[in-house]
Chains A and B, each alone.
Chain A
């Protein structure tokens, strides 16, 4: 597995995504893109759904990209990647292309959880070999912080404003990772921008799996979440260390937590780090915070049980192929 220094050398030699993009100060998205692409050794082609990354990295006549890059629309990134992969396979069959390529999709939570879900589901079912990376900042940030299927319960957004009669978003977030898992693809993982070595290791396993692979990476959004840009990494560390965003991977259907925060922080530390959850602490609805804490705890226990159930598989000859047994 490449370490940070190796990734830095690769990035310095050939930056796939450079500077000069207009993503906000303190945005987490470039960390996802750079770490993913520096972890892949073959030539890559990138498909980008509409979203912050696409808008901010390709302001006409500029581009921050130095790899083949394709944007079509919000809803069809996975369908476009399917077509690119199929064309590549056809060229290989004809002998017109000999290089091994890796196809990577970058899409936000709006383009993945909501608008692009149908295209993603179809591509996963057809088994196209590509890595789909969702950079999850928990809302439609580029258009002004509207709620998405990834926005957590109680978050204040411009379409779920907290106030006298509302405590932010009323619904729980969608569990996209498990929706993707239901397609029985070989590799699914959750990662976060606070743990880039973990992300890089997961990219390596994802790209070596035979078939589609999926990474759901928690990014961060200073204006949308309400914190100072300098705190981007610290805020996401709270998400991981509290168990709100478990770093996990599911390999051929077998679960494994890749980071076990010890001791685990309270999810209150995560909520307390952002203004979008400020109303949880004003004393008006104390039950809501307690309920959110209970939900997070129950989810953590559920994952711990699944990990315990699958531990033997990682030690078995099938699991040992992935080189992950303790």
Chain B
């Protein structure tokens, strides 16, 4: 079903009624990517990401969720080891933003 069929009378919106909007169109030609060998898993990129685009699994950094990323580059600016960099949108990366296209 598509909107507005999924909205109940009263228009109360519940979390999960609609998928999270894809914000990747806000990026301008560049996306973040990670070089695993430099990452020290400090989670500062997670803490400072305004868009919850940094994935954490079992308490550890696990890459980027690109549909949520608007390309603000705060993760690049706050990474203490230079493990995160912006790369061209068309660059091949792993499913979670691994540079070189290989998962850890």
Whether B96 is near chain A, meaning CB under 8 Å from some CB there, is no
Which of B3, B11, B55, B70 has the most chain A CB within a 10 Å cutoff? B70
Whether B40 is near chain A, meaning CB under 8 Å from some CB there, is no
Contact yes or no, A34 B71, CB < 8 A: no
The complex places the Cα of A62 from the Cα of B13 at a distance, in Å, of 7
Do A20 and B20 contact each other (CB < 8 Å), given the known contacts A9-B59, A65-B15? Answer: yes
1/0 per position for B68-93, CB-CB distance to A under 8 A? Answer: 10111110111000000000000000
B interface majority secondary structure? loop
Whether B103 is near chain A, meaning CB under 8 Å from some CB there, is no
Contact yes or no, A30 B72, CB < 8 A: no
The complex places the Cα of A196 from the Cα of B67 at a distance, in Å, of 25
1/0 per position for A53-91, CB-CB distance to B under 8 A? Answer: 000001111111110000000000000000000000000
Chain A residues 1-41 with CB under 8 Å of chain B are 4-9, 11-12, 15, 17-23, 25-31, 34-35
In the complex, chain A residues whose CB is within 8 Å of the CB of B6: 61
The interface on chain A, measured as residues whose beta carbon lies within 8 A of the other chain's beta carbons, has a size of 43
Option from B18, B59, B65, B78 in Cβ contact (under 8 Å) with A233? B78
The interface on chain B, measured as residues whose beta carbon lies within 8 A of the other chain's beta carbons, has a size of 42
**Chain B interface: which of A140-148, A224-232, A273-281?**
A224-232
Contact yes or no, B15 A66, CB < 8 A: yes
The complex places the Cα of A231 from the Cα of B10 at a distance, in Å, of 42
Option from A4, A66, A230 in Cβ contact (under 8 Å) with B47? A4
The complex places the Cα of A4 from the Cα of B59 at a distance, in Å, of 9
Contact yes or no, B73 A9, CB < 8 A: no
CB-nearest residue of chain B to A67: B15
In the complex, chain A residues whose CB is within 8 Å of the CB of B39: none
CB-nearest residue of chain A to B13: A63
Option from B16, B50, B57 in Cβ contact (under 8 Å) with A27? B50
Whether B51 is near chain A, meaning CB under 8 Å from some CB there, is yes
Contact yes or no, B56 A25, CB < 8 A: no
Contacts A60-B11, A61-B11 aside, 18 further interface pairs with beta carbons under 8 A come to A4-B47, A6-B59, A11-B52, A12-B55, A12-B56, A15-B52, A17-B52, A19-B51, A21-B51, A25-B26, A25-B70, A27-B50, A30-B51, A31-B47, A63-B18, A66-B15, A229-B73, A232-B74
* A residues neighboring B (CB under 8 Å): 4-9, 11-12, 15, 17-23, 25-31, 34-35, 58-66, 193, 196, 228-234
Report 15 cross-chain contacts, Cβ distance below 8 Å, ordered by A residue: A4-B47, A15-B52, A18-B15, A19-B65, A19-B67, A19-B68, A25-B70, A26-B74, A30-B50, A31-B47, A31-B50, A58-B13, A59-B21, A61-B17, A63-B18
